[in-house]
Structure 1
Amino acid sequence: MEKYQHLLFEKIKQQISSWFDDRPDELVDHAEVYQFLHSIKGTSGTIHLGGLLFVSSKLLDRLEANEGLKWQKDDLREFLFELISLSYEYEHFKESDYKKNEPCCGDVPLIQIIDDDVTMLILLKEALEDKGWMVMTNTEPDKAVSLYYDLQPDCLVIDVDLPSKNGFQLLESIQLHNHKQFIPKVVISSQIDRITRMNAYEMGADDFIEKPIDMEEFLVRINRQLQRKQIFDQSVLIDELTQVYNRRFLSDQMERYLKDFERTGTSFSVGILDLDYFKKINDTYGHLTGDKVLEAFALFLKEQTRSTDIVFRYGGEEFVVLFPRTNDQEAAEVAKRILEGFSKVEFKEQGQSFHVSFSAGIYMANNSTEGSLDILKKADQALYEAKEKGRACVESANEAMLPANKILNVSVIDDDAIIRTLLVRVLQNIDTDKVLLNIESYENGEKFFEAARLEEEGKHFLILDGVMPVMDGIEVLGKVKSAENASQVNVLMLTGRKTEYDIARALKLGADDYVTKPFSITELQARIQRLIQRMF
């Protein structure tokens, strides 16, 4: 069955390449698009690709309203984006390795889905992310449980019919080791008999949803569970494990500080502190040791901060410190002093000793138009810079506004039609404030240079595949960086090469950042946005 599934997705890729590469200037007939989607719908249903069946059926319904239309390429790309995205995600699907390296998202909830139906898993993830929620996905139960303990999601969605360990066993295990934390659990299953439903509730499920899933109803019911979680979280102000304030109280305090600033002009600073390589501690010594480290760090923060400073646990291994009547330089000095002290604390476990450091981002609120989320995002951007510089350091970021009406020439160079189409769509939807993006895509380096793209006036940002026919990505990078205007060109490498030598070579030749394939579209979008902001 898996063989036929891969063949179908290869057929999709070939058709996309034909439309957007082989016939770039031709209009596409309505009948051709209809035949393509009708074929996908029929085949996907036969070979158990439920998510692909759902998407192709939805597109066919929408297609009826456009009967007789000849499609422009940009319109067709937009129309097929969900199908193209699903094709990419399926081809590169892997277990979620969720990393908190994106800008913090305020009170955006995190949802974990455990299901072995990959296309439906992808579809549920996309639907939930369209609501603005963060999602991590798993098909492997053991890894899913480890991530559950590491990240404490706001809602768990679990399929009963898992191959190696059924959902009931997973629920039972989680209930026994849940540290008394309230996390709603939603069971999904094609088995809808009374015994199955009763077992789900007895094992700790808060809701039961039958397959095939009605997407609108699914989203409403998940939202309801998230509301229950929010009500529970709002009823307490102290984090149970670390005994410092929680993120709910952080929101209240931020609003109070902002009102004081608006009234009196008294600025304040925010620091986000993230323990370095914390997952490695959990993986090496277990989650109980990880909890001990968190408790020790929270206690150290309370002892070493000033009496006026307030410490919060923001989530996982992230903590926030509010520094009232303090500028960013003063707050950074406090954070550096705490870093120096905590890095010397010795932890002993299983006959071994280890030390723990942290990375920190500082931001001083000095603009009455900023909200609490804006301030936390800027502090988090500074935290990201600290991690990029090797961790165990403190960075401060009080940014100037971007210049008005700047134009940035963005070029996507990749031989994979699916990835090119995805990246163009991602770029078209990036919020770059006052920077206007002039976007073009090329299937190889030769076509990029033949178009004399680098001769266009202004700054350039290249998203460059590292491995391509005709001209290898490293060769393209070398030629770009030897151009007269090389100082005006920033390059993000997409590479399947995972060896340190290849990555080091790309960076040495002048690449500004790299992303290893397969990549998360959401993570890549955040990475691109940060790089573009840094250019201005």
Structure 2
Amino acid sequence: MFQDDGNEKKHLYVKRSPKIIIEKLINDVLHSKDNAELPSDIINRLHQLETSSIKYNVIELVHMTKTLQTMVKRQGSKVVLPKYMERAFLLLLEEMLMSIQNPTQIQQRLPKVRDENVLYSVREYNIGVERTVILVDNDILFLNKTASLLTEAGFKVLKSNRGKQALKLITESQPDCIIFGLNLIDINIEAFLKDLHERVNTLFVPIVVIGHENEKDLIDKIKFNINDSILKPLVIDDLFVKMMRLLDHVSRMKKQVHIDELTGVYSRKFIMEKLEYYYCNDKEKDYPHALAILDLDYFKDVNDKYGHQIGDKVLVEFAQFINSKIRSTDIFARYGGEEFILLLPRTKTIHAWKKINALQKEFKEKNIDIGDDSIKQTFSGGIVSNKDVRTDHPVEVLNLADIALYAAKNSGRNRVLIYDPMMRLKKEQYKILIVDDDRFTRNILLDGLKDEQWSLFEATNGLEAIEIAKEQIPNIILLDGLMPEMNGYETLEEIRKNIRFKQTAVIMLTGNHSEENIARALEAGADDYITKPFSLVELKARINRSLVRH
């Protein structure tokens, strides 16, 4: 790095000029006042040091000087060094002095670029997509240099030299990848990983550890809590390769779990996770978040007249239309059938209404090609904000948006309404039939629902359920999927064959979370499903939603 390459001027510069400037900077900091005020020309001196180091191609000094410049702050006419940065500032100046005499040690700590083409490839990979990386390492020199290379490759980098601050960044930013060193000065690695996994539990976030050769045993100890590891001295090309592999894998997993196969928009599972985040996260729940449920009008008539293939085309056209008109921060998902959810984070209700109302007017003029002909389609919507209701439970908010949706349906369709408490359900004596062969589950449901104005009935198997249903014509059937003799799916098929139950909503209760069983329930004619163990708050909200629809 600083070896005599035949250029006498460079040699003299390295041996004399930086040493004098650095020693004076150290002296300035050590003799600064209690308020950490520094000489007003210190920023100019740092800039001159950077400029001259660039001139003589002393790359490591250039990088270290840039790092020093980020630590000092202007406050009016004063220049200050925050007290919490003073130790790091002095350490870095001391390292600069050492680097002049012993450049090898510094070189080994900095990440290396072996092949510039790898960096260019990664930059192309990131074009048009913002991927956020959290980078954590207590070595400030390494941290800043690595962050600089990641930024050059097209990543948005949030960095920290402290574990606790990094955990806060992770909560606030929902990163695409997390990279951290093992020596975190304010938290031990086990506690950091435990807290980290609690924060990214529902997200697919690759975790990469960077360590030294002598830390292999520790890396091996935590290998089940991370996705990959890499050793220092770091070759950035190798890190890029690992990141690309992990990010591609995550992308495929997200598509499988989070994307609706037909329409290509987000799935029900994904939107429910996002509702939980925006309505329950301490950072986000103080903001207004608008939620809209959108439902295609008379969609059953489309399927009956043109067939399900055309119906699917209409769903795809609608999903693509809405998805192309919303902000990148908005989240659009298919909730089920012809029903979709649009979440508009940090948006007031009236602004959401204006946006969706404009979309509604534009969509009704759109021609949807169906071979030699075309059709027009409209949709209705219901909107609610967490700031307009006394609840932050996602399912209850969803329930209120649904009430507004069906008020729009009952008002003639092809319109969007904002939820109003006057839209609440009329007080009626609804009938609910609970079907489950497990006595303990039936008792929980009977006890949990008894305070509502509902008439409750129970059945222990499918055959008994059908007989009671014929006699009572319930508004809602809560149906367990796994029962002896006639299981819940077979029971549901029999119920759907009887026209007397046309207005009866069926909510499947299932202990199996698999997409296959859920799809089986919906295909058999279930209106909704809820997995065990379930929340009574969520179940009541689902029941209310079904009562509104039917």
TM-score of the pair, normalised by structure 1: 0.35
TM-score computed with the length of structure 2 as normaliser: 0.34
Bigger Rg, structure 1 or 2: 2
The one of the two structures with greater contact order (alpha-carbon pairs below 8 A, sep at least 6) is 1
